[in-house]
């Protein structure tokens, strides 16, 4: 392989057989259960990186089942999204994500900077409830429950919610262990088709874990529960702040 061939073809590791294809990725029948809850404002402020600013005390804890993801297959993930503002524009900061797919982890971390780690999330219907669970190496970290298809939501409002800008802190290391890339990335899903959306009674329980510390943002009060079925496209994001370029400024 010549240097020109490497430059022309390389985009991900390993070069001979990349762990994922190039974006965009289309998700069909992507299923969400989102429990919004009020948390401790001081703990929340510590988790939000500048130049983002805290916008509220309501954290969204998500379970997402993706049975048909182009190039990535079938997997499930779980995590927390924090309410933020960037230059007076409201959005969400993805604080933690746990999933059961190598391709999903590699693509999410390397391309956009999703904070993905390997774990064992599940989302399933159990009789009259939909239940999300997250285990980290066999230890229960989170449990969410929601009444199944309890009350229908307006699809247009849900589509607006799904296209809200989301921010990510992308870090890639240099060979000496220092940061070679340290950026704030913004993205928003595109071509959203909402197939179903519901609300109803919900609950959320978080447990302390040294390597999956979602409980550091404690559940003080569950505010809402939302169940969504939708198709959407995850397109390339954009860098809105380069921490290394502004170092010392």
Q: Check if the beta carbon of residue 86 is closer than 8 Å to that of residue 240.
A: yes
pLDDT tier at 103, thresholds 50, 70, 90: very high
Name the active-site residue from 60, 65, 116, 170: 116
Q: What is the CATH number of domain 22-242?
A: 2.40.400.10
Q: What is the pLDDT of residues 198-223, one digit of tens each?
A: 999 999 999 999 999 999 999 999 99
Annotation marks residue 116 as catalytic: yes
Give first-to-last CA distance, the chain, whole Å. Answer: 42
Complete edge-to-edge strand list for the sheet that includes strand 120-126: 120-126, 129-136, 139-147, 202-206
**Per-residue model confidence (pLDDT) at position 249:** 56
Distance CA 196, CA 102 (A): 29
Q: What is the pLDDT of residues 76-98, one digit of tens each?
A: 999 999 999 999 899 999 999 99
- This prediction has a pTM of 0.95
Q: Check if the beta carbon of residue 79 is closer than 8 Å to that of residue 85.
A: no
SS3 72: coil
Which among 146, 141, 123, 135 has a CA at the least distance from the CA of 35? 146
Interval 87-111 mean pLDDT: 96
**Per-residue model confidence (pLDDT) at position 247:** 80
């Amino acid at each position: 392989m010549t240097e020109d061939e490497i430059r022309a073809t390389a985009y991900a590791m390993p070069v001979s057989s990349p762990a994922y294809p190039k974006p965009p990725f289309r998700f069909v029948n992507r299923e969400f259960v989102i429990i919004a809850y009020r948390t401790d404002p001081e703990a929340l402020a510590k988790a939000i990186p500048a130049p983002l600013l805290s916008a509220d005390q309501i954290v969204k804890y998500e379970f997402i089942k993706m049975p048909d993801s182009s190039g990535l297959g079938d997997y499930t993930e779980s995590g927390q999204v924090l309410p933020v503002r960037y230059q007076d524009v409201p959005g969400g900061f993805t604080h933690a994500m746990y999933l059961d797919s190598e391709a999903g982890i590699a693509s999410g971390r390397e391309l956009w900077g999703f904070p993905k780690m390997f774990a064992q999330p599940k989302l399933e219907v159990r009789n009259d409830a939909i239940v999300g669970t997250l285990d980290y190496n066999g230890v229960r970290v989170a449990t969410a429950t929601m009444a199944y298809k309890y009350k229908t939501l307006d699809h247009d409002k849900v589509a607006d919610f799904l296209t809200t800008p989301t921010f990510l802190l992308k870090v890639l290391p240099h060979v000496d262990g220092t940061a070679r890339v340290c950026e704030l990335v913004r993205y928003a899903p595109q071509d959203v088709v909402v197939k179903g959306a519901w609300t109803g009674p919900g609950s959320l329980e978080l447990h302390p874990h040294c390597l999956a510390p979602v409980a550091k943002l404690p559940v003080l009060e569950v505010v809402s529960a939302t169940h969504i079925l939708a198709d959407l496209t995850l397109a390339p994001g954009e860098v809105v702040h380069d921490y290394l370029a502004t170092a010392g400024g």
